[in-house]
Structures are given as structure tokens and as C-alpha cells.
């Protein structure tokens, strides 16, 4: 594991009241999947802890679980529309602010 991400993982597990136990290969998989992004690592840990009723989290099971979670996003659904709408409103407000200031 990368030392910094390993430390972040260990701190997250210590911080969580109901953490889960993952073996070293599974921890290494999470670090590899995070691609150096600590936020992504913490999000994956949070997902696994939220589904702690599952037992025996091994690398193949974790990979399959995280892959299924990423497939649930539907670009044609209402959630996508709300996100895009919020982004457009935010960008519009930034433009208005720049016009007002400048």
C-alpha cells in the first residue's frame, strides 16, 4: 500500500464506530482502485462499512460490489437532471457575479 493512503485507511477504520476487518489483499485492492485519491478511498470504505452485514470481504467480492454500485447511476434518470440543473444554475451565478464585480 502507499504509505499515505495506508495511514488514511487506518485512521478511517479507527474513526468509524463500526469498522470492518479487511485483509491486506483487500486493503491493497481499495488503494489500487482509488488511484491515489484519498476521497475515493474513503468513499469506498464508507460503502463497505455501510454494508457490513456482508461478511468475508475478499478482493473479488469487493471488486464485484463496487462495480455494481457504479452501474446504478442512470444518466436518463431524475437524479442526473437535478445534478445538471444545479451545475447550470451555479455556473450562471458565477457569470453574474463576474459581470457585477468586473
- pTM passes above 0.75: no
Residue 59 CB neighbours (<10 A): 17
The DSSP-derived string for 17-30 is TT-----HHHHHHH
Q: Which domain holds residue 99?
A: 73-102
Please indicate, yes or no, whether residues 63 and 100 belong to a single structural domain of this protein: no
Please indicate, yes or no, whether residues 94 and 63 belong to a single structural domain of this protein: no
Please indicate, yes or no, whether residues 81 and 63 belong to a single structural domain of this protein: no
pLDDT at 61: 92
pLDDT digits (tens, 9 = 90+) for 5-47: 888 888 888 888 777 888 999 999 998 988 888 888 988 888 8
Name the residue with higher pLDDT: 42 or 85. Answer: 42
pLDDT at 96: 67
Please indicate, yes or no, whether residues 35 and 79 belong to a single structural domain of this protein: no
Please indicate, yes or no, whether residues 32 and 20 belong to a single structural domain of this protein: yes
pLDDT of 73 above 80: no
Please indicate, yes or no, whether residues 52 and 10 belong to a single structural domain of this protein: yes
Amino acid at each position: 500500500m502507499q504509505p499515505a493512503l495506508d495511514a488514511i485507511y487506518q485512521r478511517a477504520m479507527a474513526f468509524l464506530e463500526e469498522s470492518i476487518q479487511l485483509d491486506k489483499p483487500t486493503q491493497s485492492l481499495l488503494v489500487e482502485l482509488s488511484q491515489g485519491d484519498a476521497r475515493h478511498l474513503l468513499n469506498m470504505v464508507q460503502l463497505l462499512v455501510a454494508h457490513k452485514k456482508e461478511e468475508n470481504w475478499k478482493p473479488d467480492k469487493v471488486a464485484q460490489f463496487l462495480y455494481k454500485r457504479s452501474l446504478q447511476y442512470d444518466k436518463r434518470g431524475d437524479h442526473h437532471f437535478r445534478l445538471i440543473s444545479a451545475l447550470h444554475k451555479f455556473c450562471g451565478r458565477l457569470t453574474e457575479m463576474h459581470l457585477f464585480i468586473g
